[in-house]
């Protein structure tokens, strides 16, 4: 018996690092899944892999900045599998710059993909969840939803807003059996981390050393937290923003005292 046996999950940004690791884990735990993305080649390839392993999976092309496309994709999950138990808002984008220099179009796009899209997912999924008596909503925020750094306003603002959107949804629908939580990853081994390293300001080794564990996070480790929040094992947890950051936010080194190694 898997922890998601009989459940149906919809995942945006499904072909990416965290999304694909989560979909693999969901299928292993018995869920039927919808991989939603704009990367058709990557999404179809992943779904073929999941099916070849015996999983129930379909791919749905979906631009999460469009309410109509999100609703159609969530509707597809229900029409294909009969219900919807898990909504994982995971799509992301990246842009930046100093506040006074930000491009308005880039700002708007960032917030639509990482914040408004989660609202769209909730609008599409919650009526189904109410009808069937409950469900779990998980959204990918970030440690940058809890803190920020220079040149990161669009991403940090979207991720911080996502946390309070999630808290509000938890309060709105808790008595309908719907839970809503955020995960807040640190530096995860994904293409987004590759892009950060590619900026040339910090090496991968320097970034890893900032974590209490002395290393970066694997997508599969993030997927384990998503699975827990999606499953009934977390039935008393809602309205939370949970870091999965290897201790990145655990301290602030002002003294230079080295950790034991």
Catalytic residue annotation? 155
The arrangement of strands across the sheet holding 135-140 comes to: 57-61, 32-37, 8-12, 86-89, 135-140, 178-185, 241-244
Distance CA 240, CA 181 (A): 5
Which DSSP string corresponds to 109-165?
A: HHHIIIIIHHHHHHHHHHHHHHHHT-EEEEEE--GGGT---TTBHHHHHHHHHHHHH
Burial class (CB within 10 angstroms; exposed 0-12, middle 13-18, buried 19+) of 82? exposed
Q: Give the separation between CA 28 and CA 89, rounded to whole angstroms.
A: 20
pTM: 0.95
Q: What pLDDT is stored for residue 155 in this prediction?
A: 94
Torsions phi, psi for 224 (to 5 deg) = -65, -40
Q: What is the pLDDT of residue 258?
A: 82
- Please compute Rg for the chain using Cα positions: 18
Query: CA 126, CA 84: separation in Å to the nearest integer?
Result: 9
- Ordered domains of the chain (ranges, CATH): 8-186+219-240 (3.40.50.720)
Cα angle 163, 11, 139 (rounded to 5 degrees) comes to: 5
Characterize 232-250 residue by residue with b for buried, 16 or more Cβ atoms within 10 angstroms of its Cβ, and e for exposed.
Answer: eebeeebbbbbbbbbebbe
Each residue of 10-45: pLDDT tens digit? 999 999 999 999 999 999 999 999 999 999 999 999
Q: What is the pLDDT of residue 248?
A: 94
Angle, alpha carbons 33-34-38 (nearest 5°): 150
**Residues of the chain falling short of pLDDT 50:** none
Tokens for 129, please give them: 């969840």
Instruction: Name residues whose C-beta falls within 8 Å of residue 35's C-beta, 6 or more positions apart in sequence.
Output: 11, 14, 15, 19, 23, 43, 46, 47, 50, 57, 58, 59, 60
pLDDT the model gives residue 212: 93
Contact, 101 vs 57, CB < 8 A?
A: no
Q: How is 195-214 classified by DSSP, letter by letter? A: HHHHTSSS-HHHHHHTSTTS
Token look-up 């910090």 returns 202
Cβ-in-10-Å burial (0-12, 13-18, 19+) of 35 comes to buried
Residues 6+ away with beta carbon under 8 Å from 257: none
Distance CA 128, CA 105 (A): 33
Distance CA 106, CA 113 (A): 11
């Amino acid at each position: 018996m898997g922890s998601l046996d009989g459940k149906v999950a919809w995942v945006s940004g499904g072909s990416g690092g965290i999304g694909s690791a989560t979909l693999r884990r969901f299928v292993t735990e018995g869920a039927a899944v919808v991989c939603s993305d704009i990367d058709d080649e990557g999404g179809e390839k992943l779904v073929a892999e999941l099916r070849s392993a015996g999983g129930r999976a379909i791919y749905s092309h979906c631009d999460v900045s469009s309410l109509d496309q999100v609703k159609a994709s969530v509707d597809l999950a229900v029409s294909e599998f009969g219900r919807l138990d898990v909504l994982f808002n995971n799509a992301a984008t990246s842009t930046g710059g100093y506040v006074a220099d930000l491009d308005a179009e880039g700002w708007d796009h960032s917030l639509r993909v990482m914040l408004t899209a989660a609202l769209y997912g909730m609008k599409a999924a919650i009526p189904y969840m109410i009808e069937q008596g409950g469900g779990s909503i998980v959204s990918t925020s970030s440690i940058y939803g809890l803190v920020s750094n220079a040149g990161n306003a669009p991403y940090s603002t979207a991720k911080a807003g996502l946390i309070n959107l999630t808290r509000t949804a938890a309060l709105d629908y808790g008595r309908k059996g719907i839970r809503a939580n955020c995960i807040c990853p640190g530096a995860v081994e994904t293409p987004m981390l590759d892009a950060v390293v590619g900026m040339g300001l910090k090496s991968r080794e320097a970034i890893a050393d900032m974590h209490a564990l002395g290393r970066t996070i694997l997508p599969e480790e993030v997927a384990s937290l998503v699975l827990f929040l999606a499953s009934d094992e977390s039935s008393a947890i809602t309205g939370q923003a949970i870091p999965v950051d290897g201790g990145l936010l655990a301290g602030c080194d002002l003294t230079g005292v080295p950790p034991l190694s």
